[in-house]
Structure 1
């Protein structure tokens, strides 16, 4: 089976890196086209042997991109088109139909309670989303929470499949050597208590709350933020104004997999360097960073994480939901620090989100879609 994945961009983000990991496990011949930004994940995919095309789209209203994408799909002889992220779902579904490909699957990665990929929910956004959705066969929700949000928007239940994101848990297994290497690289003292955050440095992630919490914590506490984005300067400024600039480390974007041309630690190595992960974002569609932290044996404080919340509370003993602001996080961090380090092991729940399991479920869906099966009748 030949599959084309269409995605809005290939910078270092959760959906983008999830795609790269998935393609390592899917038993299908997969190519990728990115509408914009062929960033580090594009280079990683190419290194994995995946053919990546850049459409060179100029913006949301670059309608000339549609015939280019249509020609690319028609010329590739694809059996199925799989779209990812809002803009790619709109253009990719339409282009697939114009190219004569009827097997069209989309994954909804980023619909929050009030925002879609940073856009506020509005009547216009919702109408355009629903119009595009009808051009495909099925929309994959990465969590039951996302499926519920899609139904509230008006997507028919029989057109939704829940296939959760997956992780390669062994890659995140705690390693003392990697911990020391990462701390040495970023100048983190061996005896420091390191609070970590992973994600795009954007307002919705609320990492400024962690900077404010840092100012309420002892001097041996450090904050290690992994990610890049428009809030970087504001976070540095806030740390400087609060007098904790020397205790904040911003790594920029870091890949899931090591880059042989870059000596900096990758994401699993940075998780080893942390003592706790804090995720104060109030709107998540899945919570991949929380799951990866659990795989690294870290305790986790979070505001929103469907990957955890959709499971029984006893299944994830290392995760605690925190409501409130900087003071609430500071109190919880002090509690964890006082409790001392525990054994670094991954809870059993991590196996529930194994990437190989996700790939098998998706491949079953591909097979049904390409065969023209009645997907609505087989909804689960």
Structure 2
């Protein structure tokens, strides 16, 4: 690629759709706005493949069946050799082994490995041998990698950013969603918006809901491998009519406006949980489980009550206490939105990454449009 248009090639072997994949797509979109050429390698049946393709990105299919799948290795080598990217950014285990190794052998100028989750790594070898630079979505994840003997000079925390213009309170959205799901003006609506998987701690959500007074209504927005089991559990515990499962929703910003309280029950694996930033940006008071990444994300935030995972009495007490701050004044909501915008915006995230690219001599001067449509020339 020419120096005015460096190519950033992302790889992702995941089939699912969650915070990690959303961040990758936002990076693709953002770097395209700033004049970089951007592309993705992913499984053809994955959600990120179809979504990136629909957004007009060059997307190349690789099965990533497992680390020993030789056709995937050959395909990755061939693609990187043909595309000659300036940056290869890998994200999950299998694609990091294949694309990281291939990029090293083929002499890609900058190889980046992004670590999105806080689970302990199985082996530090691929982190030490392949990437020049490791990005983490939180400082807690960075410290975990350092404890595995990885050079701290190569690890940089770049928290995930959100679109604070999208995630802001709307009374019309609140009315629309509450009417759609039969919530009255007197109901206290408690929600969680996530992929319904095991470590999201949603059994704790349900077990707490059972103990709350009838005026508390609950909603779990999202889909995932645990959905049917959770629905059966809620039914068995007598929560029909009080706990709603609307499934996956594209316009989740509307659901945040409909909530009175956000009950975040994840107990592991989180980097910077995007839903916490989204709830904060909308101005929804929160009850959260104590984990290092969660407390890091919400440092200095108002209207946040932490509890220990599984402590139902404490969670019930926190939700009752949070009711006192449910009706957040408009000026407080605006302050929260501005605070998220200043610390956790997409543009801040992209700026940090572009700064790192620049340190490796990868810059663009192409005229492009920013997120508001204004033309500008990049001089980084």
Q: TM-score range by the shorter chain?
A: 0.7 to 0.9
**Given the alignment of the two structures, is residue 38 of structure 1 paired with residue 46 of structure 2, yes or no?**
yes
CA deviation string 1:62-95 (max 9, x = no partner): 2320110111111112111011122222222012
Q: Which stretch shows the higher mean deviation, 164-173 or 46-55?
A: 46-55
Match of 2:252 among 253, 258, 267: 267
Question: Any unmatched runs of 5+ in structure 1?
Answer: 116-120, 256-265, 373-380
Match of 1:288 among 268, 274, 277: 274
Match of 1:96 among 82, 97, 103: 103
For the residues of structure 1 that align with 2:179 and 2:128, how far apart are their CA atoms? 48
Match of 1:17 among 2, 17, 22: 22
For the residues of structure 2 that align with 1:111 and 1:326, how far apart are their CA atoms? 24
Q: Which stretch shows the higher mean deviation, 267-276 or 178-187?
A: 178-187
Q: Please give the root-mean-square deviation of Cα atoms over the aligned residues, in Å.
A: 2.2
**Given the alignment of the two structures, is residue 236 of structure 1 paired with residue 227 of structure 2, yes or no?**
no
CA contact 1:179–1:270 (8 Å) conserved in 2? yes
Partner of 1:263: none
For the residues of structure 1 that align with 2:297 and 2:199, how far apart are their CA atoms? 24
Partner of 1:378: none
Match of 2:82 among 75, 78, 83: 75
For the residues of structure 2 that align with 1:48 and 1:271, how far apart are their CA atoms? 25
Describe how 1:201-350 pairs up with structure 2 within 5 A. Answer: 201-255=196-250, 266-283=251-268, 284-304=270-290, 306=292, 309-310=295-296, 313=299, 315-323=300-308, 324-343=310-329, 345=333, 346-347=335-336, 348-350=338-340
For the residues of structure 1 that align with 2:185 and 2:156, how far apart are their CA atoms? 46
Secondary structure of the residue aligned to 1:282 is: coil
For the residues of structure 1 that align with 2:102 and 2:45, how far apart are their CA atoms? 20
Structure 1 consecutive aligned stretches of length 4 or more whose deviation exceeds 6 Å:
none
CA contact 2:137–2:272 (8 Å) conserved in 1? yes
Question: Any unmatched runs of 5+ in structure 2?
Answer: 1-5, 364-380
Secondary structure of the residue aligned to 1:78 is: coil
CA deviation string 1:334-364 (max 9, x = no partner): 1222444222515253120111011011012
Secondary structure of the residue aligned to 2:118 is: coil
Q: Which stretch shows the higher mean deviation, 244-253 or 207-216?
A: 244-253
For the residues of structure 2 that align with 1:144 and 1:131, how far apart are their CA atoms? 20
CA contact 1:174–1:272 (8 Å) conserved in 2? yes
CA contact 2:66–2:94 (8 Å) conserved in 1? no
Give the C-alpha shift of residue 305 in structure 1: 5.5
Q: Quickly say closer, same or farther: Cα 1:157–1:232, change in 2 above 3 A.
A: same
Partner of 1:146: 141
Structure-2-length-normalised TM-score: 0.85
Number of corresponding residues: 348
Give the C-alpha shift of residue 319 in structure 1: 1.8
Secondary structure of the residue aligned to 2:360 is: helix
**Given the alignment of the two structures, is residue 157 of structure 1 paired with residue 143 of structure 2, yes or no?**
no
For the residues of structure 2 that align with 1:343 and 1:90, how far apart are their CA atoms? 50
For the residues of structure 2 that align with 1:52 and 1:186, how far apart are their CA atoms? 38
Match of 2:187 among 176, 188, 192: 192
Secondary structure of the residue aligned to 2:271 is: coil
CA deviation string 1:110-169 (max 9, x = no partner): 123xx5xxxxx6xxx22xx43344211010111111111110122111111121111111
